[in-house]
């Protein structure tokens, strides 16, 4: 039986693959564009158009594909960013939806390319695992009323 060594998410864009990869690598530390490939004479898109961009975000490899307008992103798939501090969370919350994205409920947002992100403090998961059930439910109820998550407010809700 073969062993799976890695999974590389592939993001399908119409023509914005390189623009998206450059934006994402500017947002996340330890990120880079590894390779840009272009369509050739074989098609199926016009010769010279960027076909794929291989890039890394925080060490995780991604592939961006300019596949055409047939498919778009929706909330069925999202990327979760586990933030170590409120300051880090605030920065992602500010930068990712800029220039045409949108903020959503419960720590979710969309960037200008339509990709969904969950921006979550790592302390929230810890709180849910270690708190008494009633305290965890109070924290969840508070989270359901938020857009951008506020860890201090979540901890206060859990404390009652």
Number of Cβ within a 10 Å radius of residue 7: 8
* 110-124 mean pLDDT: 97
Q: What is the pLDDT of residues 5-64, one digit of tens each?
A: 789 999 999 999 999 999 999 999 999 999 999 999 998 999 999 999 999 999 999 999
Q: What is the dihedral of CA 52, 56, 62, 65, to 10 degrees?
A: -20
pLDDT at 123: 95
- Cα 134 to chain centroid distance, Å, stands at 30
Mean pLDDT of the chain: 95
* 58-76 mean pLDDT: 96
pTM of the complete model = 0.91
Query: Percent of the chain having pLDDT more than 90?
Result: 94
**Domain limits of the chain?**
8-72, 73-160
pLDDT at 1: 61
Per CATH, the number for 8-72 is 3.30.720.100
Q: Is 81 exposed, middle or buried (0-12, 13-18, 19+ CB in 10 A)?
A: buried
CATH class as words, domain 73-160: alpha beta
């Amino acid at each position: 039986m073969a062993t799976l060594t890695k999974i590389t998410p592939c993001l399908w864009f119409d023509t914005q693959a390189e623009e998206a990869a450059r934006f994402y690598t500017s947002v996340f530390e330890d990120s880079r564009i590894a390779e840009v490939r272009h369509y050739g004479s074989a098609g199926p898109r016009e010769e010279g158009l960027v076909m794929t961009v291989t890039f890394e975000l925080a060490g995780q490899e991604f592939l961006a594909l300019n596949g055409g307008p047939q498919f778009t992103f929706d909330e069925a798939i999202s990327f979760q960013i586990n933030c170590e501090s409120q300051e880090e969370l605030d920065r992602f919350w500010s930068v990712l939806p800029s220039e045409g994205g949108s903020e959503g409920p419960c720590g979710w947002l969309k960037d200008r390319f339509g990709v969904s992100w969950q921006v979550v403090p790592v302390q929230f998961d810890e709180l849910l695992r270690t708190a008494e059930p009633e305290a965890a439910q109070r924290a969840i109820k508070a989270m359901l009323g938020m857009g951008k998550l506020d860890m201090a407010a979540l901890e206060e809700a859990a404390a009652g």
